Amino acid sequence: MKRWLLVLMMVTLGSFSLMTTTNAATVAVREDFGKYFEGFTSGTFVVYDESKDQYSVFNEQQSETRLTPCSTFKIYNSLIALETGAASDENMVLSWDGQQRFLPVWNQDHTMASGIKNSVVWYYQALASRIGPEHMQKYIDAIPYGNRDISGGITQFWLRSSLTISAKEQVELLRRLYHDQLPFSARNMAIVRKIIIQSDENGIVFSGKTGAGSIEGVYSIGWFVGVVEKGNNRYYFATNIEAVNGATGVKARDISREILKSLGVL
């Protein structure tokens, strides 16, 4: 009971800090970024420049629309697994069950670090089962994460199911993760920040997680959310795209990189 009172206090303080930052920040609407989204039925890009306290947003309406998070939820699934003891650390191995899946790299044993790098769905479904619905719901509420709805089932709720979140919400959660303002231990937040690093070159750390929603090989939703650490500044961003087919996390990542390059961030 005392633990959850502490969690609620942390959420309240974090929300106050977030609200203050958001209210003070300026917003630059960048409809010129539309050229990066050609061929998709809809999409959005949001970046928060911490040093300038400024958001740059393409398609503001879409940036506030909640969509299934798909594999971007692995960031928070990792945090909850570590905090509840469902995972000991990023090196915890889970054995492959022998079931052949469509990506060959999934058909082997994995650690949390390799599981998030290769977006191994079965590994994170196993972690979610270990966490269980009661603890999962408590932390989803405590974060709080999007619409907080895990009714789609403990191994499915983030996969084109009941849980949804907007691009703006993704950006704010990342900001809180990098400021140790989420209801998790500093150790566990540091582990997750480490395992989502994609590159560390020339003084620029590029971190993030893809996500894609598909049914029978048809990809209609793609995500990429992440952070660029450059000098003494951080840029938190989120991109989502929708299409009849072809909206993948890799394409969302490519769009993110191109826009960040155009802004001089990468």
Task: Please write the tens of the pLDDT for every residue from 92-120.
Answer: 999 999 999 989 999 999 999 999 999 99
pLDDT surpasses 90 at 201: yes
Q: Residue 65: CA atoms inside 13 Å, Cβ hemisphere, count?
A: 15
What mean pLDDT is predicted for residues 203-228? 94
Q: Model confidence at 216, in pLDDT bands (50, 70, 90)?
A: confident
Give the start-to-end residue ranges of the domains of the chain. Answer: 2-251
User: Environment class of residue 100 by beta-carbon count within 10 Å: exposed (0-12), middle (13-18) or buried (19+)?
Assistant: exposed
Q: How far is CA 154 from CA 6, 104, 137, in A?
A: 25, 25, 10
Predicted confidence band at 24 (pLDDT cuts at 50, 70, 90)? confident
Q: Residue 93 in contact with residue 192, Cβ under 8 Å?
A: no
Tell me the pLDDT tens digit for each residue of 152-164. Answer: 999 999 999 999 9
* Distance (Å, whole) CA 149 – CA 11: 18
**How far apart (Å, rounded) are the C-alpha atoms in residues 178 and 220?**
30
Angle (CA) 105-109-112 rounded to 5° is 90
Reading the block at residue 120, the tokens are 């191994």
Q: Please identify, in words, the CATH class of the domain defined by 2-251.
A: alpha beta
| Band of pLDDT at residue 217, cut at 50, 70 and 90 | confident
pLDDT per position as a tens digit, 40-69: 999 999 999 999 999 999 999 999 999 999
* Across 137-165, average pLDDT: 98
Nearest to 155 by CA among 112, 120, 109, 121: 121
Amino acid 23: pLDDT: 57
Which pLDDT does position 8 carry in this prediction? 39
- Mean of pLDDT over the chain: 92
**Cβ-based neighbours of 259, under 8 Å, separated by 6 or more:** 33, 36, 45, 47, 58, 239
Q: Which of 17, 42, 63, 71 is catalytic?
A: 71
Q: Is the pTM of this model over 0.95?
A: no
pLDDT at 186 (0 to 100): 98
Comparing 72 with 8, which gets the higher pLDDT? 72
Can you list the alpha helix ranges (DSSP code H) found in 51-120?
60-63, 74-84, 112-117
Q: Does the pLDDT at position 124 exceed 60?
A: yes
Query: For the residues 237-250, what does the mean pLDDT come to?
Result: 97
CA distance 105 to 32: 38
The pair of structure tokens assigned to 105 is: 């790299």
Listed range (22-26, 160-164, 168-172, 234-238) with the worst mean pLDDT: 22-26
Q: Answer yes or no: is pLDDT of 14 > 60.
A: no
Cα 126 to chain centroid, rounded: 19
pLDDT at residue 21 in the model: 44
Task: Look at residue 251 and tell me whether its pLDDT is greater than 50.
Answer: yes
Is 71 one of the annotated active-site residues of the chain?
A: yes
Measured on CA atoms in the order 157, 161, 162, 167, is the torsion positive or negative? Answer: positive
Q: What share of the chain is helix, strand, coil (3-state, %, to 5)?
A: 45, 25, 35
